[in-house]
Amino acid sequence: ITSPGVFVTCVRGKEKQSVSELYDVFEAIAADLWPETTESTTEVSDSGENEPDANVNANTDADVELNIEAEIARELQALKRPRKEKRFSNVHTETPCLLFIACRPPISPTQLCHAYLSSLSSQPPRTRYVNRLIPAEGVCAANIPEIVALARRVMKGTFDAGRAYKVCFKIELPIINNTKLSRETLIPPLAACVPGEGHSVSLSHPERVILVQVFKAWCGVSVVSEWEAWRRWNVMLLGEERRLEREKEEKGREEEMEREREKMQAVWDEDEDEEVREPVFKEELQTIDESEGE
């Protein structure tokens, strides 16, 4: 693991399906946030074959041979071009339930995951087996000096030392398959990396969460928001929560519509009663008048 990317926890035995799902989701998001420019495939050869011939009707064997040679030259040139680098690639972790999807710059793993999670408020998850997303804006070797140096670089843009607004933060430090590092040895130097003064720690309602994922000999660092509100960036839990919220809202709208229908029905029933009572009342008056006349 040498490049920025996303650590992903998934359902055991569904690692391949999770990778396929994430490729589709991430590609769709990246196409919107980081659109790639398409290079023109039209080329003009140096032989001048695209220029109009002085004698259009001349179709000699030499012309045909030149055209074939030019076509072969173009095909060879195309083979020599470097292949388009993929924006996402799966790095095999050799660990059940854990994936790492590497991201090619300029893609930001944090923005990528944030976009997917924010979409769950209006639509169901596009992944079935993915659990938690842990972005890594940078990756380094799993030792304290390199982790501290990476953390300083990542935090620099998030905790602006010059601004008056102070934030409360929390450090999340999952350690997987590494016995040389511990939370006790890592958290103090990581907390000291936070730039500026006046920032405070909040374990229950942090505005920013510093994610430090240690896995084997590597470490990824990122700073995220909405950590607790988005169920610690767990796609399954957040998707289910949002589904229940949408169902509750839909039920509330249906109940409101039913109440409106009942009100309208009551008005209609009252109008119908008035229409029935009015001729009956007139008939009664007529009967009274006739009896008085007699």
Return the pLDDT at 54.
47
Return the pLDDT at 148.
97
Q: Does the pLDDT value for residue 87 go beyond 60?
A: yes
Rounded Cα–Cα distance for residues 33 and 153 (Å): 23
Q: Does the pLDDT value for residue 41 go beyond 60?
A: no
How large is the average pLDDT for residues 79-88? Answer: 71
How large is the average pLDDT for residues 232-248? Answer: 94
Give the lowest-confidence range in 17-21, 37-41, 83-87, 238-242.
37-41
Return the pLDDT at 27.
97
**Residue with more model confidence, 127 or 249:** 127
How large is the average pLDDT for residues 65-77? Answer: 72
Return the pLDDT at 73.
75
Distances (CA, A) of 46 to 74, 89, 137: 11, 38, 45
E strand intervals along 129-225: 130-136, 138-141, 168-172, 175-176, 200-201, 208-215, 218-224
Residue 159: pLDDT band (50, 70, 90) is confident
Q: Does the pLDDT value for residue 241 go beyond 90?
A: yes
Q: Does the pLDDT value for residue 15 go beyond 90?
A: yes
208, β-bridge pairs: 169
